[in-house]
C-alpha cells in the first residue's frame, strides 16, 4: 500500500524527502507518495516543488494558512504538520498558545477532522512540553485524541539515530482509532554517532554543487574566530578586549560557536543575526548552506531556491531528512505488520523553569 501524504507548514521538504525515501526492504509494495503541501513562503514552496513534485507544481499551495481553504486540498491517507515553533522554543519568550505562532497547530487538527487520514505525524521543538506550564501540550494531545486518534509522543534525540546534529524534537505519531495497529518508537540501537566533520567531509562536497557559496567574513569576525577553539563560543573563548561582545541580553551559546569536529553539530537554526550562522571547526568562516544542508542530511542534489539568507532559513527550519525517514519507515512497518526493534517512549510534559 502507498499512502498519499498531505503536509501543512511543509517547509522546503525535509519531511517529504524522508517520506518518499522511506521503504521496507523486501516489500516494494509499501511506501509514501506526495499528495499536497502548503507553506506561506514563496522560496520555500519553490524549493519543495523543484525537489519533491516537479511534475505536479500545483499540488503545492503557497498561501497563508489563515486564508487557506483546507476543504479543497483533496483526500489523503496521511498528514504531516509541524507548525512554526517560535512560540515554543526555550530560546524565545515561550509565549506558547498566546503567541503569534502557537495557535497554528489547530489547522492540523482541522485537517485531521476533515480528511480523517489513517495516520499523522506532528513535529515541534522540545520546548513545546513546557509552554504555558505544560498546559498547551496537554491541550494539543487532547485535541488529537478527540479527532479520533491514538497518539504516540516521543522526544527524539536525532544524534542517537546517526544524524550528525544534536537536534531534539517532540514528535507525535497518531493512528486512527479504527486501525488495529500500535506504533512503537523505533530503536536507536545499532546507529553509530556521526560527527559533523564526517558529514561535511565524507565524501567531499563536489565542486559544482549548488548552494555552496562561502560567506565573506569581515576582518573583525575572522580575527575573533582565530581566538575561538573548536566547541567554544564568543563567551567561553579567551578573546582580546577589543574583540569581546558587549551584549546585555541573554548570551546565546551558539554566538560565534565553532563546531567540534569530534561530535555531531549543535542545532542548526533558521534565523538570527551575526554570530549565529554556525562556524567551521578549523577555517575562519561560517558554514556554507550546502554544509548546513549536509548536517540536516539533505542529499547534495537537493537544490534550494532563493537568496543565500532565504536558503539558510529554509535549511534551519527543516526536519532532518534521514530522521524523518526512520520514523516513516517505522510507520510503514507498523501498518505492514512487520516487527522492528523499539524503545520505550521518552517524554514528559514539563513545567517551564
CB 139 within 8 A of CB 148: no
Which own/partner pairs from 139-143 qualify as long-range (CB within 8 Å, at least 24 positions apart)? 139/97, 140/105, 141/172, 143/106, 143/109
273: three-class secondary structure by DSSP: coil
Residue 27 pLDDT: 97
Domain boundaries, the chain: 2-191+319-343
Closest CA to 281 of 272, 296, 270, 291: 291
Burial class of residue 50 (count of CB atoms within 10 Å of its CB; 0-12, 13-18, 19+): middle
Residues of the chain with pLDDT under 70: 84-102, 132-133, 248-251, 349-353
> Residues with catalytic annotation?
85
Closest CA to 118 of 5, 195, 19, 275: 5
Residue 274 pLDDT: 77
Residue 333 pLDDT: 98
Quote the longest CA-to-CA distance of the chain: 65
CB 2 within 8 A of CB 331: no
- pTM listed for this prediction: 0.93
Which residue's entry shows cell 566533520? 197
Residue 249 pLDDT: 63
CB 292 within 8 A of CB 315: yes
Angle 153-156-157 (CA atoms, 0-180°, nearest 5)? 160
Q: For residues 172 and 124, give the distance between their C-alpha atoms in angstroms, rounded to a whole number.
A: 9
* CATH of span 2-191+319-343: 3.40.50.150
Burial class of residue 81 (count of CB atoms within 10 Å of its CB; 0-12, 13-18, 19+): buried
Q: For residues 261 and 196, give the distance between their C-alpha atoms in angstroms, rounded to a whole number.
A: 6
Which residue's entry shows cell 505525524? 121
Residue 247 pLDDT: 76
Residue 103 pLDDT: 82
Which own/partner pairs from 287-292 qualify as long-range (CB within 8 Å, at least 24 positions apart)? 287/200, 287/259, 288/211, 288/212, 288/213, 288/214, 288/215, 289/211, 289/212, 289/213, 289/315, 290/205, 290/209, 290/210, 290/211, 290/212, 291/200, 291/205, 291/212, 292/268, 292/316
Residue 98 pLDDT: 46
CB 196 within 8 A of CB 261: yes
CA torsion sign, 86 to 92 to 93 to 96?
positive
Beta strands in the chain (DSSP E): 2-8, 31-39, 60-62, 78-81, 119-125, 149-157, 168-176, 185-186, 342-343
CB 165 within 8 A of CB 321: no
Residue 352 pLDDT: 47
Amino acid at each position: 500500500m502507498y499512502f498519499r501524504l498531505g503536509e501543512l507548514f511543509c517547509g522546503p521538504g525535509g519531511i517529504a524527502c524522508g517520506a518518499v525515501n522511506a521503504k521496507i526492504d523486501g516489500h516494494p509494495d509499501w511506501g509514501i507518495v506526495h499528495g499536497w503541501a502548503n507553506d506561506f513562503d514563496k522560496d520555500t514552496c519553490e524549493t519543495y516543488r523543484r525537489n519533491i513534485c516537479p511534475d505536479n507544481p500545483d499540488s503545492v499551495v503557497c498561501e497563508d494558512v489563515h486564508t487557506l481553504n483546507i476543504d479543497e486540498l483533496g483526500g489523503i491517507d496521511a498528514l504531516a504538520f509541524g507548525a512554526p515553533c517560535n512560540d515554543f522554543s526555550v530560546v524565545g519568550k515561550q509565549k506558547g498558545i498566546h503567541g503569534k505562532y502557537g495557535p497554528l497547530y489547530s489547522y492540523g487538527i482541522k485537517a485531521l477532522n476533515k480528511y480523517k487520514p489513517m495516520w499523522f505525524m506532528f513535529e515541534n521543538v522540545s520546548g513545546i512540553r513546557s509552554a504555558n506550564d505544560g498546559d498547551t501540550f496537554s491541550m494539543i494531545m487532547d485535541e488529537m485524541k478527540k479527532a479520533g486518534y491514538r497518539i504516540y509522543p516521543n522526544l527524539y534525540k536525532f544524534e542517537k539515530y546517526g544524524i550528525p546534529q544534536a537536534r531534539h524534537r517532540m514528535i507525535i505519531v497518531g493512528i486512527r482509532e479504527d486501525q488495529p495497529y500500535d506504533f512503537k518508537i523505533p530503536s536507536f540501537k545499532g546507529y553509530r554517532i556521526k560527527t559533523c566533520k564526517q558529514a561535511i567531509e565524507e565524501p567531499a562536497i563536489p565542486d559544482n554543487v549548488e548552494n555552496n557559496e562561502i560567506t565573506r567574513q569581515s576582518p573583525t569576525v575572522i580575527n575573533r574566530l582565530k581566538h575561538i577553539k573548536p566547541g567554544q563560543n564568543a563567551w567561553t573563548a579567551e578573546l582580546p578586549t577589543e574583540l569581546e561582545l558587549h551584549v546585555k541580553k541573554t548570551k546565546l551559546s551558539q554566538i560565534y560557536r565553532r563546531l567540534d569536529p569530534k561530535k555531531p553539530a549543535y542545532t542548526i537554526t533558521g534565523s538570527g543575526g551575526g554570530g549565529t550562522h554556525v562556524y567551521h571547526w578549523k577555517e575562519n568562516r561560517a558554514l556554507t548552506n550546502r554544509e548546513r544542508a549536509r548536517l540536516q542530511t539533505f542529499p547534495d542534489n537537493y537544490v534550494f531556491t532563493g537568496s543565500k539568507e532565504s536558503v539558510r532559513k529554509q535549511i534551519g527550519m527543516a526536519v532532518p531528512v534521514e530522521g524523518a525517514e526512520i520514523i516513516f519507515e517505522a510507520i510503514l512497518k507498523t501498518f505492514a505488520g512487520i516487527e522492528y526493534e523499539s524503545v520505550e517512549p521518552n517524554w514528559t510534559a514539563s513545567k517551564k523553569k
